[in-house]
Amino acid sequence: MLALRRETPDRVPATVHQWQDSHLRTYLDGIDALAAFRRFGLDAAITYVPLLETDSPDWRQHVNTTDLGNGRSIRHVTTTTPGGVLTHTVESDPITAWTREHMVKTPEDVNLIDRYMPVPRLDTKAVAREYDRLGDNGVLRGLVIGNQGGCWQDACELFGLQNLILTACDNTEWVHSFLRVLQKKKLLYISESLPGTKYDLIETGGGAASSTCISPEFHRAFCLPYDREQHDALHEIGLPVVYHTCGGMMPILDLIIENGCDASETLTPPGMGGDARHAEIKRRIGAKVCLVGGLNQHQVLDCGSRDDIRKEVFRLFEELGPGGGYIMSPSDHFFHTPPRNLQHYAEAARECRYG
């Protein structure tokens, strides 16, 4: 929490960005996320969003699952509303899932989302129990509802990134109307479910806002106004915000500051598809937001030797750690990291102490 407030703790906090169930099952005997953090002596950062069942006669979903074998499957989802039917398809394997068919295919589909999609409610009692279970082991993170927290990123999940970019060039006002539909539901969720909730941090944004996906001009037009409105609403109820860009970020550093977030992640290095120059990021925005991430989770954490990992940990601390306000973490999800490498990471990070 000191780091989130851009203050200086006794040592650099070191965590990971969300344990993946497949990794916990395959490498850690199926223990839960908190037990995994404790096993390695890392600082916990647990994302937990228990939603209450939403029963709406105007939004009925039927799921038909096709088993493809070897742990792979396809979920065909049909959503029936009084105004029409929406369909989307999600494929998954034992490691992750991805969209094969997007829900939004025509402008009229957005009207159905606007009129009939219910806003879920958060189980705040369950959040309180998890907060108490976590205790002083780390921070409890929440999300804003939707496939992604940011409106642009959420719309990309529903319509497709390429589709949305091309439509934004040809029909700017329709894209803004789409984003406003999603924003209305997100702000309602914030006002109804989050006041007084025991969260330490709320994640917004998403990878589609990164400069590897869209230009700074697009980001300013289609991300910044909606991000800022969400962040203002979260700050009004006392919740700090971490803004997630798991890709390029150097051309949009000033826009990240302008959206009013309290922390910026994931500081993705070039080896993981980003463009983060960590010393420059620290110099340009480190006094204004907490910085989270930076560690290359594949070439270093997955595949590196003990010396490789230690060298990278100390480099990150040297470039991002001065003056506090930094939380060390892999720059995003990992799936095949050997436990011994996680131990090397945790041990090296514990040596990164302030004064």
CATH number at residue 313: 3.20.20.210
Number of domains in the chain: 2
Residues 289 and 303 in one domain: yes
| pLDDT recorded at residue 55 | 83
Residues 244 and 257 in one domain: yes
Residues 83 and 41 in one domain: no
* Alpha carbons 204 and 18: distance in angstroms, whole number: 15
The dihedral built from the CA positions of residue 213, 214, 216 and 220, taken in this order, carries a sign that is negative
Residues 71 and 151 in one domain: no
Residue 171, SS3?
Answer: coil
| pLDDT recorded at residue 355 | 85
Looking at the domain assignment, is residue 35 inside a domain? yes
CA angle, corner 56, sides to 54 and 60, nearest 5?
100
Residues 132 and 142 in one domain: yes
CA angle, corner 149, sides to 146 and 150, nearest 5?
115
| pLDDT recorded at residue 54 | 85
Looking at the domain assignment, is residue 7 inside a domain? no
Indicate the helix (H) or strand (E) that contains 32: none
Residues 330 and 265 in one domain: yes
Beta bridge partners of 45: 139
Question: Beta-carbon neighbour count of residue 353 at 10 Å?
Answer: 12
Residues 59 and 49 in one domain: no
**Domain limits at 291?**
21-54+119-350
How many angstroms separate the Cα of 67 from the Cα of each of 22, 76, 92, 265?
18, 11, 10, 36
The dihedral built from the CA positions of residue 106, 108, 114 and 117, taken in this order, carries a sign that is negative
Residues 137 and 164 in one domain: yes
Residue 133, SS3?
Answer: helix
Residues 147 and 233 in one domain: yes
State the pairing for strand pair 60-69/138-143: unpaired
* Alpha carbons 126 and 143: distance in angstroms, whole number: 15
Residues 261 and 134 in one domain: yes
pLDDT along the chain (355 residues), means of 10: 96 96 96 98 98 93 96 97 98 95 96 97 98 96 96 97 97 98 98 97 96 97 98 98 96 98 97 96 98 97 97 98 97 96 98 95
| pLDDT recorded at residue 53 | 87
Looking at the domain assignment, is residue 293 inside a domain? yes
Question: Beta-carbon neighbour count of residue 120 at 10 Å?
Answer: 16
